[in-house]
């Protein structure tokens, strides 16, 4: 079974758990959902699944075939366990780079743009992470982890992280100390100075403790979610491109090749000396939530339903499609996700 097909089978479970979380939050008077935000996150999740299949490159398999020091057996239990731990270790460094290196932040920022924190946020993923993210996993290929094992543990690591995106589960005692948990991952999504750039682990918090990036959630400082520069848009294409555009604009102010490289390789808050200063960061801010009519909301829900069904069908058969059929279907799906964002955005008022 293809990895994309596994995701398709998991989607009803994801949606059921999202519905359960929404119901439970309403029941206890702590609703963490907004329709516009949730649909935007889910649309970005669709794009995240479509683009890598459309532009698949297979670098890992090529390196394993041509550069592996050995070929580990795929039928040994210890290979699977070591691969899962090794994958989580590599993911820690990719995730850390995603916050501390501008070009990786340009991809990863998508996941942090939501100003809510719930299970739909877990599905809000980048459409461009596949461009460079594979670099961090090449050591596993060189060490001989078979592609089947690698792909499976990658899926396990990804699926594990779904449940930690919730505010409905509090502290979990000793579990929080060693494993990624809702409390630990809430910290990771914070924009507060105290919490910023901590708790990168996917399954294990051991890496954060070893490398000095772990911090506990503090009830005395409520978490504010989102990015320090608010996205203020429901457009999924803009969400994926906005940081790349910002970094490219900074290139105009870079003096010499060192500053040009630094635009992409320095921390995300770095700017060339000649660039205009950024607006001051404001922690206490209103979430982006422009009102739209019930009719537009209903149309957005209906269109997203069509997107979801079309994407599920496309993902299920993508590996069998001819290039023209694959690209045509993908373009239609991407255009429809953009349409969902447009329906959630109030029409521009005429100045006349």
Q: Tell me the per-residue pLDDT of 209-259, one tens digit each, with 9 for 90 and over.
A: 999 999 999 999 999 999 999 999 999 999 999 999 999 999 999 999 999
| The pLDDT value given to residue 56 | 64
**Mean pLDDT, rounded, for 150-174:** 96
Tell me the pLDDT tens digit for each residue of 59-93.
899 999 999 999 999 999 999 999 999 999 999 99
Q: Is 179 helix (H, G, I), strand (E, B) or coil?
A: strand
Tokens 């995106």, located at residue: 165
Report the chain's mean pLDDT, rounded to a whole number.
94
DSSP state of 123: T
Which token pair is 283? 């922690």
Tokens of residue 81, six digits = 């366990």
Quick one: tokens of 313?
């069908």
* Helix axes of 77-100 and 102-112: crossing angle, nearest 10 degrees: 100
State the angle between helix axes of 256-265 and 236-251 in degrees (0 to 180), rounded to the nearest 10: 160
Q: How confident is the model at residue 351 (pLDDT cuts 50, 70, 90)?
A: very low
pTM above 0.85, yes or no: yes
Q: How far apart are CA 22 and CA 40, in angstroms?
A: 16
- Distance (Å, whole) CA 57 – CA 62: 9
């Amino acid at each position: 079974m293809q990895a994309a097909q596994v995701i398709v089978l998991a989607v009803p479970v994801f949606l059921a758990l999202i519905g359960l979380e929404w119901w439970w939050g309403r029941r206890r008077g702590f609703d963490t959902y907004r329709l516009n935000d949730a649909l935007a996150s889910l649309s970005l999740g669709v794009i995240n699944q479509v683009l890598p299949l459309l532009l698949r490159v297979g670098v890992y398999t090529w390196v394993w075939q041509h550069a592996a020091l050995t070929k580990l057996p795929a039928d040994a239990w210890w290979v699977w366990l070591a691969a899962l731990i090794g994958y989580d270790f590599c993911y820690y460094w990719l995730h850390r780079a995603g916050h501390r290196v501008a070009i990786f932040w340009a991809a990863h920022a998508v996941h942090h743009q939501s100003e809510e924190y719930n299970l739909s946020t877990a599905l809000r993923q980048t459409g461009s992470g596949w461009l460079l993210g594979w670099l961090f996993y090449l050591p596993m290929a060189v060490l001989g982890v078979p592609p089947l094992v690698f792909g499976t543990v990658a899926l396990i690591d990804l699926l594990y992280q779904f449940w930690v995106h919730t505010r409905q589960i509090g502290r979990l005692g000793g579990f929080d100390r060693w494993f990624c948990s809702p409390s630990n991952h809430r910290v990771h999504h914070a924009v507060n100075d105290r919490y910023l750039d901590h708790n990168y682990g996917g399954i294990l918090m051991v890496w954060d403790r070893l490398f000095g990036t772990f911090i506990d959630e503090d009830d005395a400082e409520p978490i504010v979610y989102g990015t320090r520069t608010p996205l203020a848009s429901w457009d999924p294409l803009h969400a994926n491109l906005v940081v790349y555009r910002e970094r490219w604009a900074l290139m105009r102010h870079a003096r010499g090749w060192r500053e040009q490289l630094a635009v992409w390789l320095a921390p995300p808050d770095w700017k060339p000396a000649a660039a205009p200063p950024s607006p001051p960061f404001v922690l206490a801010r209103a979430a982006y939530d422009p009102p739209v009519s019930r009719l537009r909301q209903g149309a957005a829900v209906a269109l997203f339903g069509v997107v979801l069904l079309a994407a599920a069908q496309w993902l299920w058969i993508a590996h069998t499609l001819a290039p023209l059929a694959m690209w045509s279907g993908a373009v239609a799906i991407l255009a429809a996700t953009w349409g969902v964002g447009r329906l959630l955005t109030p029409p521009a008022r005429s100045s006349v």
